Amino acid sequence: MTAPALYEIETSEGDDGTMHPVEHLWTPDYGDPKRLGFITHNGITITGYGAEDEPPVGFIALGHHRWGHVIEAAAAYMVKIYDWRELHTYPHADHGDVIPRIPRAVHTHAAVLHHPHPAHPCGCAWDDQWRLVWVSPTEPGAVPVTALRHPAAAVTAAGIPNPDADAPATWAT
């Protein structure tokens, strides 16, 4: 898997000459994580991500955590949000299918963006959408996260940065 390109926070100049982000940045200290679909399990704030109305292809936990703890929190997320008792397969899946090993978690950084910035609408397809992007730790709004692919999702589906491909990430222990 190759790491996706890092996202750079875009800015534009306001009428008064000050620079502002084109998109609104969300950070844990700015707003309630539950509003964006996060749950808290044993002190880990976690959410699933992927296409709307589809099972998650991956999980994001705020902060850097141990791999095993994130797996436990991901399983709790699936129970609470989907009432699925099994993390390893999707409901109605062919249980004869080979299920990949639980993937390793990575410590990296992400930003949660709302497009456009509420004060600067643009009318594009991303309007009023939240999305998660991988960023370098020095980008404005960068939040340390632990990312984990859902075991039933295709390896390429989650697009998680790969520490073995020179991505700004490290393997979680």
pLDDT tens by residue, 127-145: 666 777 888 888 877 889 9
Cα gap 20→22, rounded to integer Å:
6
**What pLDDT, on a 0 to 100 scale, did the predictor assign at position 142?**
83
Tokens 């099994």 label which residue? 86
Q: What is residue 24's predicted lDDT score, i.e. its pLDDT?
A: 60
In the predicted structure, residue 71 carries a pLDDT above the cut 80: yes
Q: What is the mean pLDDT of residues 86-115?
A: 77
pTM value is 0.75
pLDDT digits (tens, 9 = 90+) for 16-50: 877 666 666 666 655 677 767 889 999 999 999 88
Backbone angles phi, psi at 106, to 5 degrees: -125, 145
pLDDT at 26: 62
Residue 2 pLDDT more than 60? no
- What pLDDT is recorded for position 125? 65
Rg (CA), the chain: 17
CB neighbours of residue 148 within 10 Å? 26
> Which tokens in the block code for residue 93?
């899946």
3-state secondary structure of 121: coil
Write down the pLDDT at residue 113: 75
pLDDT at 29: 57
Q: At CB < 8 A and 24+ separation, what contacts does 100-103 make?
A: 100/151, 100/155, 101/151, 102/71, 102/151, 103/148, 103/149, 103/151, 103/155
pLDDT digits (tens, 9 = 90+) for 160-172: 888 988 778 999 9
Torsion-angle region of residue 103: left (phi > 0), alpha (psi -120 to 50) or beta? Answer: beta
Is the distance from CB of 4 to CB of 161 less than 8 angstroms? yes
Higher pLDDT, 86 or 79: 79
Q: Is 44 helix (H, G, I), strand (E, B) or coil?
A: strand
Q: What integer pLDDT is reported at residue 17 of this predicted model?
A: 79
